[in-house]
Amino acid sequence: MLKKSNPHEWVPWELRRINPDIFYFKEDKNIPNSPLPLLIYRGFFDKEYEDCEGWLKNRFSSNRWFPAPRLQVFGFTHYYINTHLVIGVCSGEAKWQLGGTLGITTNIEKGDVVVIPAGVALRHLESEKNFKIVGAGSVNEVPRVQKEQSGNHAHGNNGIANIALPETDPILGPEESQLTIWMPADSYSR
């Protein structure tokens, strides 16, 4: 079992299902990050749910996000350069670093869903052996990974800045979309 941190309760637990934790990460010399926030829906679905993988794939597809077969996160700092990403945790628990070394470290577990804007860094630090995720991208392309590069990430920014905003929230769909908080963001102006 991973060592649990004591996170500050920003939102009462019963409201987290439809009110995600919201994190903004600034660009640094090694990682573009994004003006769009990363969202973590804690405990979005029942931890006892049997067909997690099928349920998440169906949910993502029905909300016009494209399943990413064999998606994995790596033990090095990386980001995706051609799509926004959504990841649902089907089993186990893991500790991830989000937003790079100046970002946050958090535990995610079965039932959690993470919406990651293109360019936002992530790194898998540790997990239980049974840790399993399902992911989807906002565009119908194989997600392309970029490793953190010391001092220069400019080559990836042009493509990242031009990735269209998704039409719907990958979990809540068009009716209750939390992605409305992405709408005012002006592509890479800070």
- Find, among 76, 71, 74, the residue nearest to 90 by Cα: 71
132-137 sheet: strands from edge to edge: 21-25, 34-41, 113-116, 85-91, 132-137, 66-67
Residue-level pLDDT at 108: 96
Q: Is 142 within the bounds of a domain?
A: yes
Residue-level pLDDT at 29: 86
Sign of CA dihedral 134, 111, 19, 3: negative
Q: Is 185 within the bounds of a domain?
A: no
Q: Give the whole-angstrom CA distance, residue 35 versus residue 26.
A: 7
pLDDT digits (tens, 9 = 90+) for 80-135: 999 999 999 999 999 999 999 889 999 999 999 999 999 999 999 999 999 999 99
From the DSSP assignment, how many helices (H) and strands (E) are in the chain? 2, 11
Q: Is 9 within the bounds of a domain?
A: no
- Percent of the chain clearing pLDDT 90 (strictly above): 49
Instruction: List the CATH number of the domain containing 39.
Output: 2.60.120.10
Residue-level pLDDT at 18: 66
**What domain range includes position 137?**
17-164
Count of structural domains within the chain: 1
- Find, among 31, 34, 38, 35, the residue nearest to 154 by Cα: 31
Q: Is 8 within the bounds of a domain?
A: no
Q: Is 139 within the bounds of a domain?
A: yes
**pTM score of the predicted model:** 0.83
